[in-house]
C-alpha cells in the first residue's frame, strides 16, 4: 500500500531527476523500483509486456492511417512503456541499458560500414 512516506519520496525523486538529464542506466535503476512481478517470471514477464506495448504503438499508428489524426502524446506514452519493459528485461538479463545501447550502435555502425544495413538476418 502506498503511504505518505512513499509519496514524499516520489516528490523528492521527481525534483532530483527533472533538474538534470537522465542517462539510460539511471533510468533502468529508477524503473526497477516500479517492477512488481515475481522473480520466477523474470525475462518472460517483460518480454510479453514489451510485445503488448509494441502492439499498442502499432495500433496508435494504424489509427492515424484510419482517422487521419496522429496521437503523438499517446504514442509517446506507449513508447515509454516499451522503454520500461526493455529496462526490466535488461535488468533480468543482467545487462545495463547503456551497454545494450552501445552494443546496438556498434552493430548498426558495423553494418553501415560494410553496406549491409539493408537486407535480412541478424548476422549480416
Structural domain including 103 reads: 22-113
Q: At which residue does the C-alpha cell 502506498 appear?
A: 2
Based on the structure, what is the number of domains in the chain?
Answer: 1
pLDDT of residue 41: 98
pLDDT of residue 122: 81
d(CA 63, CA 112): 33
Report how far Cα 123 is from the mean position of its chain's Cα atoms: 24
Q: Tell me, yes or no, whether 105 lies in a domain.
A: yes
pLDDT of residue 68: 94
Nearest to 82 by CA among 71, 69, 67, 97: 97
CATH number at residue 44: 1.10.287.1080
What residues have CB less than 8 Å from 97, skipping those under 6 apart? Answer: 24, 25, 27, 28, 86, 87, 90
What residues have CB less than 8 Å from 124, skipping those under 6 apart? Answer: 111, 114, 116
Q: Tell me, yes or no, whether 64 lies in a domain.
A: yes
- Local confidence pLDDT in tens for the 124 residues of the chain: 566 666 666 666 666 666 678 899 999 999 999 999 999 999 999 999 999 999 999 999 999 999 999 999 999 999 999 999 999 999 999 999 999 999 999 999 999 999 888 888 887 8
CB 83 within 8 A of CB 26: no
Amino acid at each position: 500500500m502506498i503511504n505518505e512516506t512513499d509519496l514524499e519520496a516520489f516528490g523528492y525523486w521527481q525534483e532530483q531527476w527533472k533538474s538534470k538529464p537522465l542517462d539510460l542506466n539511471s533510468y533502468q535503476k529508477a524503473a526497477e523500483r516500479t517492477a512488481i512481478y515475481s522473480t520466477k517470471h523474470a525475462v518472460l514477464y517483460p518480454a510479453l509486456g514489451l510485445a503488448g506495448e509494441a502492439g499498442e504503438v502499432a495500433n496508435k499508428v494504424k489509427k492515424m492511417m484510419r482517422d487521419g489524426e496522429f496521437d503523438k502524446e499517446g504514442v509517446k506514452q506507449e513508447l515509454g512503456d516499451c522503454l520500461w519493459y526493455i529496462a526490466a528485461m535488461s535488468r533480468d538479463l543482467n545487462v545495463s541499458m547503456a551497454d545494450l545501447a552501445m552494443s546496438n550502435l556498434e552493430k548498426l555502425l558495423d553494418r553501415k560500414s560494410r553496406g549491409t544495413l539493408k537486407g535480412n538476418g541478424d548476422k549480416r
